[in-house]
Structure 1
């Protein structure tokens, strides 16, 4: 995620131009994909977004919590997220590591505290990034306009893993944009949200609406600076 997509009050300690010089960290997410019962794509995207929010809201990631320093170091550099897949024994080994598992309708996603870019735990480093091309068994229902919606760019073709990371970025920007009591209300409600592909005719207006916009750094799949997600939280409209 590029620096310019972060709000002015986000918890960075470095200026935007310095974040490339800071030690780089990554937020690992692992999605469970069993051969016999893969999750639906939209459910996986929504579950990944909620997993990021659960970590950001967790007491271990704030104040003097055991993950807080790693989270601060991660936010002080570029905000990287990487999604890997696991099944069977791989998933059980991932579950044994410190983290948070979030369950959707069919998806399970485990998020872990940030790690150095080149310092992944071996049980996560061995997991595959590719192979997260998921499908929806049926088209997702229309999003509830009274609830948060993470709108995906209709012109970009992204793998499910890439889209999960981008949805996580969008959820994080929405979280940063909220006041304390608004964050608490969202958390207490269980972080309801939807991830949907924006109608083509609506996308230009969304990107210029003043809502948080994710601009990808271009490390994988898509061109640098591409707008991938608009975070449409009712409290931010």
Structure 2
């Protein structure tokens, strides 16, 4: 689905992360990146906009104040570090409320809500591949499409990361730390060299995680966070 979206946030790193999520997982067009509300109002006059990704805590005019000035056809996704404004945000034409840092999995859930809001009844009846959660990774000159449900684990190799799925392995030029910062549950880091998809784990034995035919070490550094996530699935 093609949509026009505007990013409004006074934090450059937050803008960059959201831009990356949009570029990797959608066909949307980013019509502008604004660092305050006044810039956003000018951009909205010049660019057809469907969705605004809107920070709340900004100087001069905050996100809530800007939301009250937006046309009714422009939908809003609030992006903020503050959970206490969530209820008030739905006084506007709000589709979702994302807490920073925005993980890739959380963004993908928001993407489904956004596209559902703009989908016609006829489109909603179709079972298109677009409905699958996926992203692209760059391997050499190739942009490789990866479905989240197919991912087994990520293995760091110095300046590279090996992306291992049920079908293939792809080597990408990126640090494991960068990937860990973008992903949320069911993905979790378990070792300096590994991120695993917990939904693909077959068993945990002797401080090792077994996924497919791979035996992955569980380090003490990451053990507590990993076990806290696993315990959510205990019977």
Normalized against structure 2, the TM-score is what?
Answer: 0.26
Higher gyration radius (CA) = 2
Greater strand share, 1 or 2? 2
Higher relative contact order (CA 8 A, sep 6+): 1
Normalized against structure 1, the TM-score is what?
Answer: 0.25
